[in-house]
Chain A
Amino acid sequence: MLRYLLGRFWQSLVLLLLVSVIGFAVLNLAPGGPLSQFTLTPGMTQADLDRIASQMGLDRPLPVQYIDWLAHLLRGDWGRSYRDGRPVLDIIWEHLVATLLLMGVSTAIAILVGSWIGVLGALRRYSIFDYAATVGAMVALSIPTFWFGLIAIYIFSLRLRWLPAGNMYTIGDGSLGDYAIHLIMPSVVLALVNIAVWSRYMRTATLDVISQDFVRTARAKGLSSRRVLLRHILGNALLPMITLLGLQLPTILGGALVTETVFTWPGMGRLFLDSLGYSDYPVVMGLLMMSAVLVLVGNLAADLTVAFVDPRIRLS
């Protein structure tokens, strides 16, 4: 077990290193680069640009810049924002909670609704419900998240006036209920795609479990079908879903970016777009790295959870 844990941890580290190379390459090989913010200043000459480049250390060879950047990154120094000079890590930290809140609530909704649809579809295979769920899932996967958000705002805020159209809270009212009301629409909109994915996989997983011997044994013992469903079928069908949750993380995080934009949610996604608008390289770089770190940590956590929860897996 310990060996597996260490191996998995080691793999993640190697992957993280690769991720940092790719992230660094994407931003530094792009035409313009971090200097582009200065080129628009009136009266800027090439000599000035060269001087700024050398001040910022941008005239060094790329590999040297990379090593230097990585060394700072590992020491917790993610650079300073070009916009207000604050440490990048602090800025990201402030926006991380909002994003994690949105992702967490939305994932909880997706798991509950998606599992329910998936299990019901599997139990009543080839019924009208099953067919509708299959088609519905494919349509849900095809709806652009931002468009679904706009339609939801149009119906529930502008026409019915039930829910606020955006932001995380009403200024001057920081009560829990106020937060909750602001959370409903963005989290449901973000959940849609994941409900679709989750219900498809849950249906397959349930069908796999239903035909197993231990389910027949449980039924033969005379257990109530409710108990068989909850303990034997659900318990086993949900196991592979933990891995799926880890694999879905990039999609959820990407979806959160779009959802945050539509609902002016003060999270990492909005920060990312704002920083792009200002060519704020250090923040963009930091967010790119942070998103990959979240994904890798999430995947590692999912794999480890499966290893601990599933007694059939004896990893060594």
Chain B
Amino acid sequence: MTQSDFLIPTHTSQRWWHSRSVRRFARHRLAMFGLVMIIVLVLACVFGPWLLPFDDLYIDLRGRFSPPFTGYHFFGTDPLGRDIAARLFMAGRISLLVGFAAMVISTVFGTVLGIAAGFFGGRIGTVLMRFVDAMLSFPNIFLLLAMAAFIKPSPIMITLIIAATSWMEIARIVEAEVRSLRERDFVVAARMLGLSNSHIMFRELLPNAIGPIIVAATLTVARAILLEAYVSFLGYGIQPPLPSWGNMLNGAQQYLDSAPWLAIVPGAAITLAVTSFNFIGDGLRDALDARSDML
């Protein structure tokens, strides 16, 4: 019952950071590496643009295609002579924010749907889960592009669309968890006390299913950042001049021979961020004893 240890300390004197789960997480080297990398990335994206001498939108055609470390252009400049480091940090703000917001929305939606399907079961549960199955039958990039192509792509719309195509795994995980908890004694006891359905679902069942949800949510951030990168790379996501890690790579292929840094730098940032979230997710899975089929 390590999951409930994590949330409801059995001894009031025990602080949450002394709990076994936290200690196990702190010992997980990859997870700590991931956590440090994310903190560094977030700090760089928040403060980086202030520290650099260039604005991310400042165009300098004389200085276009400068290779990395030309003057103060640490990562070089792009085809319009804009500083890539400045764009990278501004893009990071957007990409990380989109990834995080999409995770919050899809986690809340997936959790509510999963709890409802698992708790009520029967016909409601079947219908809801068949809907989940049907959504999962589409390769999510196809669905994402089909939605993104016909709307006006603003960061908020992209976030909503990514959330709309990535809540299904969480719903499945929560449904399975709740279905296995539904007949347990504490739920039966809560029913006998005459507690309302919503109280049982959100106050009794939800805290007991929180471990797998946290793990899945972490992995969803990683996936959402990747999805944003895919759609923006293909030209249907965040639109320039607003930078995102994906759209910085958008025109990079045609300059691959002469200016490979255009492709290398933003891709490395995406990989670093996504790897870090995946490491954290792995550490949480071990720390919370939460098995999950999401990789």
Contact = CB atoms under 8 A, between A and B. Distances in A.
A146 B233 contact: yes
Nearest to B134: A18
Contact of B263 (A19, A150, A196, A254): A150
Q: B interface, how many residues as a size bin?
A: 35 or more
A143 B139 CA distance: 18
A144 interface: yes
B134 A147 contact: no
A287 B145 CA distance: 12
Given A26-B146, A151-B263, A15 B134 contact: yes
Interface in A273-313: 273, 276, 279, 284, 287-288, 291-292, 295-296
Given A18-B130, A142-B222, A147 B139 contact: no
A70 to B, nearest CB: 15
B273 to A, nearest CB: 8
A261 B234 contact: yes
A197 B293 CA distance: 11
B271 A143 contact: yes
Contact of B137 (A15, A143, A284): A15
Q: A interface, how many residues as a size bin?
A: 35 or more
A177 interface: no
Contacts of B263: 147, 150-151, 154
Interface stretch (A28-36, A58-66, A82-90, A105-113): A28-36
A308 B30 CA distance: 41
Contact of B278 (A30, A141, A261): A141
Contacts of B252: 150
Contacts of A200: 295
Contact of B139 (A31, A33, A142, A257): A257
Contact of A158 (B30, B229, B257, B295): B257
A273 B234 contact: yes
Contacts of B141: 254, 257-258
Nearest to B268: A147
B238 interface: no
B282 A138 contact: yes
Contacts of B130: 14-15, 18
B133 interface: yes
Given A144-B233, A250-B137, A273 B145 contact: yes
B216 interface: no
B224 interface: no
Interface in B217-231: 222, 226, 229-230
B142 interface: yes
A271 to B, nearest CB: 11
Nearest to A276: B149
A229 interface: no
B269 to A, nearest CB: 10
A26 B234 contact: no
A287 B142 contact: yes
A14 B134 CA distance: 9
A181 interface: no
B176 to A, nearest CB: 15
B208 interface: no
B152 to A, nearest CB: 8
B138 interface: yes
Given A147-B263, A258-B234, A288-B146, A141 B140 contact: no
Interface in A4-26: 14-15, 18-19, 22-23, 26
Nearest to B219: A141
Most buried by B among A27, A32, A142, A251: A142
B279 interface: yes
Contacts of A23: 138
Interface in B116-150: 130-131, 133-143, 145-147, 149-150
A282 B234 CA distance: 21
A253 interface: yes
Contact of A31 (B133, B151, B270): B151
A262 interface: yes
Contacts of B138: 19, 22-23, 250, 288, 291-292, 295
Contacts of B271: 139, 142-144, 147
B39 interface: no
B190 interface: no
A15 B278 CA distance: 31
A151 B256 CA distance: 9
17 contacts: A14-B130, A15-B133, A18-B130, A30-B151, A36-B150, A141-B295, A142-B222, A143-B267, A144-B233, A144-B274, A147-B267, A154-B257, A158-B257, A273-B145, A273-B234, A276-B149, A288-B146
10 nearest CB pairs, A to B: A147-B267, A254-B139, A30-B150, A142-B274, A18-B134, A254-B141, A142-B275, A250-B139, A253-B139, A276-B149
